[in-house]
Structure 1
Amino acid sequence: MSPEKAIILDFAETDAMKSILPNTSILSSHGANWEGIHVEYHCQPPNESPEHYLQQHSIGILFSSAIGGVGLNGKHYGSEPCQSGEMFIAAAGTDFQSHAVEEHEFMAIALEPTDFDNTVYESTNSNLIEIIPHWKISDLLIFGIAWALKTELASGGLNGTLYVDALKNALSLHILHRYCAQKTKMSDLEGGLGPHKLQIVINYINHYLHLDLHLTELANLVQMSPYYFGRLFKQSIGVTPHQ
């Protein structure tokens, strides 16, 4: 996707997916005082979403059978039958697109990267972990947690935020142990951004300085994770992208 057409999907916003899908969510955690996790439950007609960048680590879980496919960082998976319970997992910063040829119900779960990283560090004493994209997988534990979150939303928060925190932590740890891999060490990337990549980012910032730019948006210009991009950008010029 060209930078001027970039859509940032931020699940912290109200009705986040309204920017890419026809219908608003049936259930949403927005305003529920949940921390580090966002949940939306949808029923959508046949559609094709525009390409967009995921601001959070994201899981999409089908709750009905459907025919459809996705695109993950430019790799496209064509239309095929998908069953209830099948899902995708993608890290924050992923370039994502989806399409469906029939009505379908699904849940979107988004984990804030900072919150997830804290869980990772507490469990491994390392931040050098990254989520590996997966498509059309079945995972009974994730589906069970998703069902519990859906039930909690439908009840209006009957069990409270501590219950949601426990589900979030269980989900984060499961993703860590089953769907993550070791990142390249920063020592292997010394020297900051290369001159060409640095110039691409600086030109983009100067051109869109009047907009509310996102770290994920800038990182995707040079095909890097937000974590490494922020570190290498500061290493290159001495200040953070925000500064």
Structure 2
Amino acid sequence: MPTEEIIKVDFAQEEACSQILPRSPLATSYHANWDGIRLDYHQQPAFETPEHSPQQHVIGISLVKQPINAERVLNGYIQHECIQYGDVTVIPANSCHKSSWELETEFLILSLEKALFARAVYDSVDLQQTDILPHFATSDPLLQQIGLALKAELESDGMGSRVYIESLATTLCLHLLKHYSVSSTKIAIHSEGLSSLKLRQAIEYINQNLEKDLGLAEISTALGVSMYHFSRLFKQSTGYSPHQYVMNCRIERAKRLLAKTEEAIDEICQQVGFQSQSHFTNVFRKLIGTTPKAYRKQVKI
């Protein structure tokens, strides 16, 4: 009998999942234009996938409501699995993979461009190349939480804040590098944080560009620092992740505009860089404890 052809799956293509799964994803970040990372949320019937080879690094995250028996073949190795909620499978780019499961199941597929991971490696360790190793289903709370955070961000507004998505992608890359790579080389740590000059430049740049959909790459490029080092060093210097700091700055500016101007709330929302008024209201309530409209009434009394 002829050997079955291995399907090459490119998650940079919109219909990538239809090559190996019977149903389309319930939600996908494909149209959100996240840089180098994609999330697909699936609910699939009992099924056996054809053998396939992803062109990106892939992390599967189980969201099953009850344990499911499954069988997985990964680079020729077969393993029978009892999949639990939160179990994670790591499938490196160009690996050969197929799987089957007995009941309807729910899961996330997180695909990561090789170039994005390579940049993290280059910026973090003294190696020319580091490869991700394949891992059968196992518990990994951090990868699970990254997946769920991306899913929540996708479902909230459909787009997500660039700086938040990139922060999660950076954390994902460094976690894969530390726990799933072929090398045990330690990640470079800079305990001193950013220099006072770089920190001041970062804060000034953020405040001067709050109306934009700021991303980590944009801020770090302005400082002449790698995105991966900037994210880690900024938090060491301020106690806040770049995403948290940007959100705080946006809300502080919004408070001033609400108190000192008569501009409409939707106009203020745009001026401080939120993509939708609902997202602005949710973040404002979370940080201040009340809505923008109620806050304006309080300070105008």
TM-score by length of 2: 0.58
Work out which structure has the larger RCO, using CA pairs closer than 8 Å and 6 or more positions apart in sequence: 1
Match of 1:140 in 2: 141
CA shift for structure 1 position 158: 6.1
Aligned equivalents of 1:92, 1:3: Cα separation in 2: 22
Aligned equivalents of 1:3, 1:120: Cα separation in 2: 36
1:1-243 superposed matches below 5 A:
5-64=5-64, 65-78=67-80, 80-157=81-158, 159-182=160-183
Give the letter aligned to residue 55 of structure 1: Q
CA shift for structure 1 position 3: 8.1
Aligned equivalents of 1:86, 1:4: Cα separation in 2: 29
Structure 1: runs of 5+ lacking an equivalent? 184-243
Match of 2:207 in 1: none
| Cα shift readout 1:165-223 (whole Å, capped 9, x = no counterpart) | 1000000100100111239xxxxxxxxxxxxxxxxxxxxxxxxxxxxxxxxxxxxxxxx
Greater strand fraction, Structure 1 or Structure 2: 1
Aligned equivalents of 1:4, 1:136: Cα separation in 2: 25
Match of 2:268 in 1: none
CA shift for structure 1 position 4: 7.5
Aligned equivalents of 1:144, 1:97: Cα separation in 2: 25
TM-score by length of 1: 0.71
Aligned equivalents of 2:109, 2:159: Cα separation in 1: 21
Instruction: Sort the Cα spacing of 1:4 and 1:70 in 2 relative to 1 into closer, same or farther, 3 A.
Output: closer
Aligned equivalents of 2:61, 2:178: Cα separation in 1: 19
Aligned equivalents of 1:172, 1:159: Cα separation in 2: 19
- Contact 2:62–2:87 (8 Å) recurs in 1: yes
Q: Secondary structure at the match of 1:180?
A: coil
Give the letter aligned to residue 116 of structure 2: D
Aligned equivalents of 2:63, 2:123: Cα separation in 1: 32
Runs of 4+ aligned residues of structure 1 deviating over 4 Å after TM superposition are none
Aligned equivalents of 1:156, 1:15: Cα separation in 2: 22
Instruction: Sort the Cα spacing of 1:32 and 1:63 in 2 relative to 1 into closer, same or farther, 3 A.
Output: same
Aligned equivalents of 2:3, 2:131: Cα separation in 1: 24
Please identify the structure whose Cα radius of gyration is greater: 2
| Cα shift readout 1:39-64 (whole Å, capped 9, x = no counterpart) | 10100000000001110011001001
CA shift for structure 1 position 125: 3.1
The alignment-based identity, stated in percent, is: 37
Match of 1:234 in 2: none
CA shift for structure 1 position 69: 2.0
Aligned equivalents of 1:88, 1:23: Cα separation in 2: 20
Say how many residue pairs are matched: 181
